[in-house]
Chain A
Amino acid sequence: MRLPCPICGERDRREFYYKGAALERPAPDAGEAAWDDYVYLRENPAGDTRELWYHDGGCGAWLVVTRNTLTHAVIGAELASEAKA
């Protein structure tokens, strides 16, 4: 498996650290239900999924990687600092 780092180029998976689903963080006053959802509840999608990966063995950037859990295709990656949730 390779991930296309927008800075470094296509790189081996071992250079990356996996964080989890790329979620939109609720506002501080969004309420208990929204925060419960953000902290504990996850989808288990069969298809495209957006996840945070850290290029720790490379440039040190956080990425939002889109990949397909059915086909294992890696569809793309963008810098987390520029990504829209």
Chain B
Amino acid sequence: MADLIAKLPCDGLLPLSIGKATLVEVVPVALTSVSPLKGAEKDLSKAMTKAHGVGFPGPNNSNGDDAVRAIWFGRAHALLIGPAPDSALVKHAALTDQTDAWAVVCLDGDAAESVLARLAPVDLRHSVFGLGQTVRSQLGHMTASITRVGENAFQIMVFRSMAKTLVHDLKTAMVAVDARG
């Protein structure tokens, strides 16, 4: 068999620091898509809380912190970020390993909101999009998951195959926001 070389999605592209914003790659231990079986959302949430300390998140919300985070990821769909899923979840949900399928970056800094305002058709200002809130929306032409993970910090996820476009679009917006002063 060929000697394969492991490579991160944003290999050679990050980190970036432009003006009042920084962009770094986030490398989660595991990403698991969690979809509750019909009618099992409450039991799943209990099992997740017991095993990982985070319940199943409601629409546009996330639970947890940088170590373990469950973010709402769509209709009847969440993403567990951090540890590999406990086997107790299998009874209540369909689980799919997504660890290498997504490019995950963190945009941080005073200019982060302004940078995202140029790319996403949703209001991500702090007054309406607080810590822990999340959206499935678009970033440029890509479908994306955006979560506020800090006062001025956003976790942004797109399909791994779009990593280069993600960094290009964010970099262009960071340069433009910085040029405005």
Contacts and interface: CB of A to CB of B under 8 A. Distances in A.
Given A7-B59, A8-B135, A60 B121 contact: no
A57 interface: yes
A73 interface: no
A8 B59 contact: yes
Given A7-B59, A56-B143, A58-B136, A12 B77 contact: no
Contacts of B122: 11-12
A28 interface: no
A78 interface: no
B74 interface: yes
Interface in B49-99: 59-60, 74-75, 77
A9 interface: yes
Q: Is the interface of B mostly helix, strand, loop or mixed?
A: strand
B138 A60 contact: no
Interface in A26-78: 56-61
A14 B142 CA distance: 11
Interface in A1-28: 7-9, 11-12, 14-15
B114 interface: no
B152 interface: no
B137 interface: yes
Contact of A60 (B60, B77, B135, B137): B77
Contacts of B59: 7-8, 59
B174 to A, nearest CB: 22
Looking at chain B, what size class is its interface with the partner chain? 10 to 19
A59 B136 contact: yes
A82 to B, nearest CB: 12
B9 to A, nearest CB: 21
Contact of A14 (B74, B77, B136, B138): B138
B117 to A, nearest CB: 13
Nearest to A2: B121
B75 A14 contact: no
A57 B137 contact: yes
B17 to A, nearest CB: 29
A8 B122 CA distance: 11
Contacts of B138: 14-15, 57
The 3 closest A-B CB pairs, nearest first, are: A12-B121, A60-B74, A61-B75
11 contacts: A7-B75, A8-B59, A8-B60, A9-B60, A12-B121, A14-B121, A14-B138, A15-B137, A15-B138, A58-B136, A58-B137
